[in-house]
Amino acid sequence: MPKITAISSITGYNQCMSDEGTIKKILNGNITSIKPVLNKGDVNRVYVVTTDKETVVLRLNEAGELQRFKKEEWCLTKVSEIGIRSPQVLSTGVL
């Protein structure tokens, strides 16, 4: 698997749209693979997504989890600012 360059935390999605449809809407590039990460957590639906430009970890959850995702994004930013290597959050929001 290619090196994972970033983590994107996206929460909330259109109930009528599949996770694959949501992923395609979030990532505008040419998606070459979508691989679910199974049995590694209980809260989010996690995917390793490869496009023609990068590989990212995409986490999906319900809109009610937005505050938790924002808190996690804040924490990751703060530890990164003091030199602790941490994932780069590309985006957090509700679709």
pLDDT tens digits for 26-52? 887 789 999 999 888 788 888 999 988
- Name the DSSP class of 15: T
- The Cβ of residue 50 has, within 10 Å, a number of other Cβ atoms equal to 19
Determine the Cα–Cα distance for residues 9 and 74; give it in Å rounded to an integer. 12
Partnered with residue 47 across adjacent β-strands are 36, 58
Instruction: Say how far residue 52 (Cα) sits from the centre of its chain.
Output: 17
For 7, the 3-state DSSP assignment is strand
- Name the DSSP class of 54: -
First to last CA, the chain: 28
Tokens (6 digits) for 64:
């009610």
Q: Give per-10-residue mean pLDDT for the chain (95 aa).
A: 47 62 82 91 86 87 85 91 88 80
55 contacts 63 by C-beta, under 8 angstroms? no
